[in-house]
Amino acid sequence: MKKLLPLVFIFLLACGVPQKGNKKLVTVSILPQKYFVEKIAGDLFDVQVLVPPGASPATYSLVPSQMKGLSHSLGWLRIGKIGFEQSWHQKIEDTNPNLQVFDTSADADWIASDDDNHDEHVHDQGIDPHIWMAPNEVRKIARLTAQALTKLVPEKKDDFAKNLAEFEHEIDGLDHQMKQKFDRIDNRKFLIFHPSLTYLAREYNLTQVAVEVEGKEPSPRYMSLLVDQARTDGIRVIFIQKEFDKENARQLADEIQGDVVQIDPLSENWEVQLQEIADQIVAAAKDS
């Protein structure tokens, strides 16, 4: 009998008998949201991120293991308008009718995706989705994240509120530091392959000049215009997300005798990455 007990125990584990202390699972769309959830909830949850490192939030497709994870998740916290969510949200909700879904972008002040109209606020399709790249928008995301987590685990309401207040204080400090950095530069234009810093540019009175337009690579004519503009404005650095092929950016950099600098707007360590991007924009402006 004593010999049988370890075998029975192993069998029960293999069958998935719940273990004491298992964390509840929540799901988010992109890695920066994992950072936001953990700032508010600490280590209370296991956080499943649907778009993995190195994948594009515009085109990513779920794998079966992620669909299974969603079936065990307390809730899914969406980020709003990324292509992945537009393509998959209905299937996810239809397949998991009991899944609670929260839109943490509900309070966003959206910007039209057309770079020539970057100050036009819109509330429909055809908008720039990268709201997590600006501290002011992240304040709104964080509050809606806290509300969602409170609905999922109401007994932790006070903890979530306390952690949210601390996170908002950190965001205020980051915002202050970034304003100080950007106040030191005169050339407020920067060149970027994919327009992922639109909200950052609005928040700090910068001008983002995008190489890619509406998800398409630039035509030879547009490349020529960009070269002329970069030379006129003294721009010598092209920013590009690490998920993108650097070849077109490299060609343009060669034309303006400049450099290609990789950034990671999808980094899990949101605050550190935003600080690094700010430092890189300031350094590029000083070199212009």
Mean pLDDT over residues 178-190, rounded? 95
Residue 231 has pLDDT above 60, yes or no: yes
- Give the residue among 224, 74, 200 at the shortest CA–CA distance from 135: 200
How far apart are alpha carbons 45 and 77 in whole angstroms?
13
Q: If you classify domain 22-104+130-176 with CATH, what class do you get?
A: alpha beta
Q: What band does 183 get if pLDDT is binned at 50, 70 and 90?
A: very high
Q: Which is more confident, 288 or 75?
A: 75
pLDDT at 11: 34
**pLDDT score of 121 more than 70:** no
Residue 81 burial (CB count, 10 A): 21
pLDDT at 18: 35
pLDDT category, 114, cuts 50, 70, 90?
A: low
The domain spans of the chain are 22-104+130-176, 184-287
Give the pLDDT confidence score for residue 125 in this predicted structure: 53
Contact (CB, 8 A) for 94 and 70: no
How does pLDDT run across 265-283, given as a tens digit for each residue? 999 999 999 999 999 999 9
Residue 92 has pLDDT above 70, yes or no: yes
pTM metric for this prediction: 0.87
- Count the alpha carbons within 13 Å of 197 in the hemisphere toward its beta carbon: 29
State the pLDDT at residue 218: 82
Question: Cβ neighbours of residue 103 under 8 Å, at least 6 residues apart?
Answer: 78, 80, 144
Residue-level length of the chain = 288
Rama region for 250: left / alpha / beta (φ>0; ψ in -120 to 50; rest): alpha
Please tell me if the domain spanning 22-104+130-176 has the same topology as the one spanning 184-287: yes
pLDDT in tens, 142-163: 999 999 999 999 999 999 999 9
CB 156 within 8 A of CB 41: yes
- Topology classification of domain 184-287: Rossmann fold (3.40.50)
Q: How many helices (H) and strands (E) does the chain have?
A: 10, 8
Tell me if 253 sits within 8 A of 232, measured CB to CB. no
Round the average pLDDT of the chain to a whole number and report it: 88
Can you tell me the distance from the alpha carbon of 47 to that of 123, in angstroms, rounded to the nearest whole number?
Answer: 29
Mean pLDDT along residues 203-229: 90
Residues in Cβ contact with 16 at an 8 Å cutoff, skipping those fewer than 6 apart: none
Question: At residue 5, does pLDDT exceed 90?
Answer: no
